[in-house]
Amino acid sequence: MPDETTRPAPIRKPSGDSPAGPPGSRRALVAGSVGNLIEWYEFGVYGYFATIIAATFFTPDGGGDAEALIKTYASFALAFFFRPIGAALFGRVGDRIGRRPTLILVILLMTAATTLIGLLPSYATLGAAAPWLLTLLRAVQGLSAGGEFGGAVSIMAEFAPAGRRGLYGAWQSFTVALGLLTGAGTAALLATVLSEEQLSAWGWRVPFLLTLPMGLAALWLRLRLAETPAFREADRASDAADTPPPRTADLVKAVVLGAGRIMGWAAAGYTFLVVLPSYLQSTLNATFQQALVATALANLGFAASILPAGLLSDRLGRRAVMTSGAVLVAVLAFPLLNLLQDPGASTLAKGLSVFAAGAAVGLMAGPGPAMLAEMFPTRVRYTGLGLAYALSNAVFSGCAGLIITELVEDTGNVDIPAYYAVVTCALSVPALLTLRGDDHRRALRN
């Protein structure tokens, strides 16, 4: 597969595009993003209730709270390592038979696995089988989540009007924020109306069970979705001519490069948006409600910057906006975390700090989906961008909670989250600088 450094796509308006986009563009935007909202709602809920899930499923006889939390995050990480498998499996299917039928299958699996977590008996009821069944369901979620991103972004990018891929792709990241905020809001509401005993006994199950009606609504939207014009055109071209398949070596190179470009987004995003509640509770002795408020503010900052960042990348380019976000996180991570650790700092200052952290991550997340879509031709786009995203998230997001919790426990260094965010963002900057400044104005490759 010729990558972006060997054969640039022509700078032109894609055939058949209009400023309004192909027919069905807005429907594709909604149907593509709704699955991502559900996925990140669930992953957020799992993170927010990590301490309760630890006590429910992962507290062996004689085990402590820290040990249980580490095992909970190990299960969390395992689901992420199934994402690349799902990206390869569903990506291959989606590049062969189409984006629409593959995404329908993905949403069915995702909804079923998440709903079953809400029904799963606890360790006290089922014994040692309980954590294993939870881990199995997390693995199924990982497989389905791996197939979700590549297909949804492919649909959005391939339906996007000319010159608006950054904005369309940013909706995929925006639904990450919506999903996390929805999860945080649900968790906060339950924590307010239920006692701690009720929340630990059964209340934590409610957010997982709510996935069922959400998933059915997403299924209805996807059943009404048309196949993308780019896929239909590429499918006809491959049938009409003896077109050689993309080279595996080029695909692998592009996947690794794409994963490197988004590693800062993956690591910093999970550090500040998902792992933060457990860190604040276990390390800084915050209450559950305080931790949720801080996380909600971080996600509000994230949500506030994503769409403007995507729109700005359509004007200035993906490289400028994403690099700025990575540099900001690297520069601000330690001051922001130290502010949270300072008992004398005002509540307003702490709130503004987590809001700013989320906003900096949003500068990377907004243009990120479009950037990945532009790296791969239509025939391998679902597979390629899905693998790049899944690999980066498996290594740098899925392991974030496990790494941070383990290192803080072993070293006693409360600055570990800042080190993690700074190092990963600093490493992603050189990969981002390999982007061409005019990628946002080039047509998607067939």
Distance CA(418)–CA(408), nearest Å, equals 12
Residue 419 resides in a domain: yes
- pLDDT per residue as tens digits for the range 74-88: 666 677 788 899 999
Segment 332-360 mean pLDDT: 89
For residues 23 and 46, the answer to whether their CB atoms sit within 8 Å is no
Residue 289 resides in a domain: yes
Residue 95 resides in a domain: yes
- pLDDT per residue as tens digits for the range 277-332: 777 877 787 777 777 788 888 889 999 999 999 999 999 999 999 999 999 999 99
Comparison of pLDDT for 162 and 5, the residue scoring more: 162
Residue 239 resides in a domain: no
- pLDDT per residue as tens digits for the range 25-40: 888 888 888 988 998 8
Would the pLDDT of 208 be above 50?
Answer: yes
Q: What is the DSSP letter of 31?
A: H
Range of the domain at 227: 25-232+246-441
**The pTM is what?**
0.83
Segment 245-268 mean pLDDT: 91
Residue 12 resides in a domain: no
Least confident of 101-110, 300-309, 342-351: 342-351
Distance CA(311)–CA(309), nearest Å, equals 5
Residue 149 resides in a domain: yes
For residues 170 and 110, the answer to whether their CB atoms sit within 8 Å is no
Comparison of pLDDT for 81 and 382, the residue scoring more: 382
Domain count, the chain: 1
Residue 16 resides in a domain: no
**Helical pair 25-48 and 129-159, crossing angle rounded to 10 deg:** 150
Q: Residue 315 sits in a domain of what CATH number?
A: 1.20.1250.20
Segment 413-433 mean pLDDT: 93
Residue 363 resides in a domain: yes
pLDDT score for 20: 54
